[in-house]
Amino acid sequence: MNAFTFTPENEAKFLALLERYLQKSSLTLPSLWMVQYQEGWISTEAMKYLAQKLDCSPMDIYSVASFYTMFNLKPVGKYHIQLCKTLSCMLRGSEQMSHHLEKKLGIKVGETTKDMKFTLTHVECLGSCGTAPCMSLNDDYVENLTLEKLDDIIDGLKS
Amino acid sequence: MIVKIVSKNFEIPNAHRLEVARANGRYTSLSKLFSMTPNAVICEVEQSLLRGKGGGGALTGEKWRLIPTDGDKPSYLVVNADESEPGTFKDRQILEFDPHLLIEGIICSSYAINAHHAYIYIRGEYVFWAKRMQEAIDEAYKEGILGASVLDSGYALHVTLHRGGGAYICGEKTALLESLEGKRGHPRLKPRGKEPEWFFGNPTIVNNVETIASVPFIITEGFGAYLAYGTEQSPGTMLFGISGHVERPGVYELPYGVKLIDVIEKTCGGIKDGKKLKAIIPGGSSCQILRADEIENITLDYESLKKHGSALGTGGIIVMDESVSIPKAMKNLFEFYHHESCGQCTPCREGTGWVDNILGKILEGKGTPQDMQTILDACDMLNGKTICVFAPSVAFIAQSYIEKFKEEFEALIH
Ligand SMILES: Cc1cc2nc3c(=O)[nH]c(=O)nc-3n(C[C@H](O)[C@H](O)[C@H](O)COP(=O)(O)O)c2cc1C
Ligand code: SF4
Ligand code: FES
């Protein structure tokens, strides 16, 4: 038996989406997103569940899920900080922001704090180069970053 | 210098809401649109010489002609909102401030190619912008602007927003379609001749957000009004995004043909903190770098940038001042390309990594005189031997960094 099933809301969304695509396979990415919002990450059980729903093998789902960097194949912290490291952000001080975050959170880039509160990742250009440096905090962008801004945000989330 | 065709409503408060959008001219092109035949719409766009704003600059009308008019298969429009080329942040302005302009453009463009369903493929990170866009789509459905009969014209059109998962290569149109079909975003082999794209085997057009958003103006005002801006071969305007070391980074709509140096000095307030300019990447990171002493005569149009050994690309201009280490900037971009190679072609998958590693070694002071040649050899291997143009563009940019800033690399190699 699968440990994962869609919530009734996601199931309804899934059925509505079926109407909008020519073939079921197009629902792979939308379904992975629904799983990730439901569970915070994408487990093997969830992939097996999706394979059944989309008439393909679990390996097909894994192959797609692992191709796209935004799908978490292991749990991440409650607050996922994704700092842009690409050129325009580097020119505007992203390296300094990165060091500051590592020090402040006591973890290295790519790690999660022991209490599962924060994950720090480096990502490539977020499309906010004009308001660099930039990061995304869960689903929200924080732009024109400064050390003070970072302190305010992290202190706020810690307390 | 600034012209407002696509950005006309950007500063109007709440112009993303249908009511405000309509009060400011949105959807007024549609009565004229439905009085025209689809063929007449394509003719209008052809004569406007509208060029794609996603990086390639292909003529939009010519591309739309690739859709067979006598086929029995349905056709599709796919709007490319993947916007992941480093230095590019213009499409999000349209999605944020004027999503109804995009919907209006989608209606005009879909009608022209006889499509009844359009997909917008938006990069996964743009969560806020995806919500914005979806709200606008929902409003449009509610008011009968989308659906079984667009504004009671009898023409049916559906629009579906599709979120990506964070892969740069999905901006490449065939990788995008693979992704939309639910697969890994692997670019497809190019056909020999001119063809449309194929979505589940059906003829499909992929256009950039800004390209589609430029269409309503051409329908309402006629192609002549569009030709009045820009240069003869690059008519109209583009949203240029300027980032890096300028006083006022941002997105500015400018007619093609303005001088690059004026945009930096005047529009953007000059180099930050009074420093000196060192280098410019003119159209997103995949364009060859230009030295400060090369830019004096450059104008922002496809022809001028090509003549000067680079490209207009996405119009994302990255400005670097005298403090920047070019080898370090190059390493930064190679980390990007190494990470974002889709991995299908061995030269691309391995070559980008080698160059990244060698640059890392040079920056650590462990480089050898042979390293520069090894990078150039790796470029030969990247060029012309792969499925998509990702690898060749990476090769060209590597060559430009090394040739133009040779002394800087050599200074790091003892
Ligand atoms: C590696 C690569 C990445 C690309 N990324 C984008 C992108 O993010 N957005 C975009 O509109 N076009 C992108 N393109 C160009 C598309 O393949 C396609 O040409 C474009 O969307 C066509 O629209 P247009 O003619 O309106 O410009 C990319 C091309 C390549 C080779
Ligand atoms: S050139 Fe690179 S990105 Fe393009 S298909 Fe080959 S491996 Fe993928
Ligand atoms: S380089 Fe960081 S948002 Fe573009």
Give pLDDT, residue A70.
97
Nearest CA in chain A to B177: A26
The 3-state DSSP composition of chain A as helix, strand, coil percent (nearest 5) reads 50, 10, 40
Task: Tell me how crowded residue B322 is: count the other CB atoms within 10 A of its CB.
Answer: 12
Atom of ligand 1 nearest to the CA of B212: 26
Contact present, A50 and A27 (Cβ < 8 Å): no
Architecture of domain B18-227: 3-Layer(aba) Sandwich (3.40)
* The pair of three-digit structure tokens given for residue B310, joined into one six-digit string: 């680079």
Angle (CA) B289 B291 B295, round 5°: 100
Dump pLDDT digits (tens) for B217-239. 999 999 999 999 999 999 999 99
- Selecting from B89, B200, B324 the residue whose C-beta is nearest the C-beta of A130 gives B89
For the CA of B87, the nearest atom of ligand 3: 4
Residues on chain A touching B158 (C-beta within 8 angstroms):
20
Q: Which of B182, B200, B336 sits opposite A124 (nearest CB)?
A: B336
Q: Which one, of B71, B70, B75, B65, lies nearest residue B45 by Cα?
A: B65
Residue A70 sits at the chain B interface (C-beta within 8 Å): yes
> What is the rounded CA–CA span in Å between residue B396 and residue B309?
10
* Averaged pLDDT for residues A49-53: 97
Distance A118 CA to ligand 3 centre (A): 22
Mean predicted lDDT score pLDDT of chain B? 97
What residues contact B221, with CB distance under 8 A and at least 6 apart?
none
Cross-chain residue pair A29–B84, CB shorter than 8 Å: no
Sign for the CA dihedral angle at B303, B61, B197, B144 comes to: positive
B229 vs B255: CA distance, rounded Å: 6
Query: B112 is written with which tokens?
Result: 């022209």
Q: What is the ipTM of this complex?
A: 0.98
pLDDT digits (tens, 9 = 90+) for B173-228: 999 999 999 999 999 999 989 999 999 999 999 999 999 999 999 999 999 999 99
Q: Residue A104 in 3-state DSSP?
A: helix
- To the nearest whole percent, how much of chain B has pLDDT over 70? 100
The verdict on domain B237-321 having CATH code 3.40.630.10 is no
Interface check for A77 against chain B (CB to CB < 8 A): the answer is no
User: Could you say which of A30, A68, A130 has the minimum Cβ distance to residue B241?
Assistant: A130
Q: Quick one: average pLDDT of B390-399?
A: 97
Cβ <8 Å between A23 and B181: yes
Instruction: Label each residue of B115-154 as H, E or C.
Output: EEEEEEEECCCCHHHHHHHHHHHHHHHHCCCCECCHHHCC
How far is it, in rounded angstroms, from Cα B162 to Cα A64?
15
Strand order in the sheet with B277-281: B250-255, B237-244, B316-321, B277-281, B290-291
Q: Specify the pLDDT at position A120.
A: 98
Any idea which residue has 């480089």 for tokens? B367
What share of chain B has pLDDT > 90, as a percent?
Answer: 98
DSSP code, position B289: P
Question: Which residue do the tokens 């720090």 mark?
Answer: A120
Q: Look at residue A159 in the predicted model and tell me its pLDDT.
A: 84
pLDDT band at A2 (very low <50, low <70, confident <90, very high): low
CA A80-A86-A91 angle, to 5 degrees, is: 115
Interface of B with A in 354-413 (CB under 8 A): none
Cβ pair B128, B81 in contact under 8 A: no
* Type and span of the H or E element at B347: helix B346-363
Residue-range domain boundaries for chain A: 8-67, 79-158
* The pLDDT value given to residue A35: 98
Q: Which residues in chain B are closer than 8 Å to A68, comparing Cβ atoms?
A: 124, 164-167, 185
Beta strands in B246-374 (DSSP E): 250-255, 277-281, 290-291, 316-321
Q: Does B83 touch chain A (CB under 8 A)?
A: yes
Tell me the pLDDT tens digit for each residue of A137-155.
Answer: 999 999 999 999 999 999 9
Residue A1 pLDDT greater than 80, yes or no: no
Confirm if B89 and A127 have CB atoms less than 8 A apart: yes
Is the Cβ atom of B244 under 6 angstroms away from ligand 1? no
List A residues 94-113 in contact with B (Cβ-Cβ < 8 A). none
Average pLDDT over residues B90-101: 98
Cβ neighbours of residue B17 under 8 Å, at least 6 residues apart? B139
Residue B167 Cβ < 6 Å to ligand 2 = no
- Note the pLDDT tens digit of each residue in A62-104: 999 999 999 999 999 999 999 999 999 999 999 999 999 999 9
* Measured distance CA(A23)–CA(B209) in Å, rounded: 25
At how many degrees (to 10) do helices A147-158 and A94-105 cross?
A: 30
Contact call for B316 and A71, based on CB within 8 A = no
Phi, psi of B312, rounded to the nearest 5 degrees: -75, -30
Domain A79-158: CATH class, spelled out: alpha beta
Q: Which ligand is nearest to the CA of B352?
A: 2
SS3 content of chain B, % helix, strand, coil (to 5): 45, 15, 40
Report the 10 Å Cβ neighbour count for B204.
25
pLDDT band per the 50, 70, 90 thresholds, residue A3: confident
Give yes or no for a cis peptide into B392 (omega within 30° of 0): no
When pLDDT is cut at 50, 70 and 90, the band that residue B384 belongs to is confident
Q: Which residues lie across from B163 on neighbouring strands? A: B122
What pLDDT, on a 0 to 100 scale, did the predictor assign at position B414? 76
Q: Is A7 on the interface with B (CB under 8 A)?
A: no
Q: What is the CATH number of domain B326-413?
A: 1.20.1440.230
Residue to substitute from B119, B122, B125, B251, interface A, most A β-carbons within 10 A: B125
Q: Using 50, 70 and 90 to split pLDDT, how confident is the model at B122? A: very high
Q: Among all ligands shown, which has an atom nearest to the Cα of B189?
A: 2
Residue range B323-368, pLDDT digits in tens: 999 999 999 999 999 999 999 999 999 999 999 999 999 999 999 9
Is there an atom of ligand 2 within 6 Å of B386 CB?
yes
Does B86 lie at the interface with A, CB-CB under 8 angstroms? yes
Can you say how many angstroms the Cα of residue B149 is from the centroid of all Cα atoms in its chain? Answer: 31
- The answer to whether B103 and B17 are in contact (CB under 8 A) is no
Using CB atoms and an 8 Å cut-off, which of residues 78-97 of chain A contact chain B? 85-88, 90-92
Does the predicted model carry a pTM greater than 0.90?
A: yes
How much distance in Å is there from the Cα of B34 to the middle of ligand 2?
41
Residue-range domain boundaries for chain B: 18-227, 237-321, 326-413
Q: Which two tokens stand for residue A74?
A: 């292991």
Whether residue A124 and residue B85 make contact (CB cut-off 8 A), yes or no, is no
A8-67 CATH, one of 1.10.10.1590, 3.40.1110.10, 2.60.120.10, 3.40.50.300: 1.10.10.1590
Q: Cβ–Cβ of A68/B185 closer than 8 Å?
A: yes
B202/A contact by beta carbon, under 8 A: yes
Residue B92 pLDDT > 80, yes or no? yes
**Stretch B287-292: mean pLDDT:** 98
On whether any CB of chain B is under 8 Å from the CB of A23, the answer is: yes
Q: Which residues of B touch A133 (CB under 8 A)?
A: none
Strands B277-281 and B290-291: antiparallel
Q: Please provide the average confidence, as pLDDT, over all residues in chain A.
A: 97
Residue type (1 letter), B280: I
* pLDDT (0 to 100) of residue B192: 87
Express each pLDDT in B294-319 by its tens digit. Answer: 999 999 999 999 999 999 999 999 99
